[in-house]
Amino acid sequence: MQLLLQSRIGTLNIEFCRDLHIRIFMAFASLGFDDHQWFSTEDLKVLVDQGMVDIAAKEHTLAEKKLAKSSYDAEGKKFPESQMEGAQAAVDQLKAELAPYQAELEQRQKS
């Protein structure tokens, strides 16, 4: 112990001790990855089914916008295209977010 006290040229800052703890933890358990396989099959099915319900709801909204556009066109009025584009973008976004989960579920069901 005496040799250590005489030979020490530096110490860890107390703030770095916490950072070192986090770095060591992250070396073994990295969080924030896109791993769709960690869901149980039952949970994955619930997630995909809920996603399909959400997509159906957004597609229903899109269909209503198309109906409103047809009504406007029949009356000779101009329909705001931004509403149609926003509804289509919402449907496309949900489909893109759900696609990896659907692919994982299909792969599990084939096995």
The domain total for the chain is 1
Q: Quote the CA–CA distance of 45 and 43 in Å, as a whole number.
A: 5
Whole-prediction pTM? 0.63
Q: In the structure encoding, which two tokens stand for residue 63, read together?
A: 């269909």
Q: Quote the CA–CA distance of 45 and 6 in Å, as a whole number.
A: 64
Q: For residue 51, what are the domain limits? A: 2-110
Write out pLDDT tens, residues 3-56. Answer: 877 888 887 788 888 888 888 887 777 666 556 567 888 999 999 999 999 999
The overall average pLDDT reported for the chain is 87
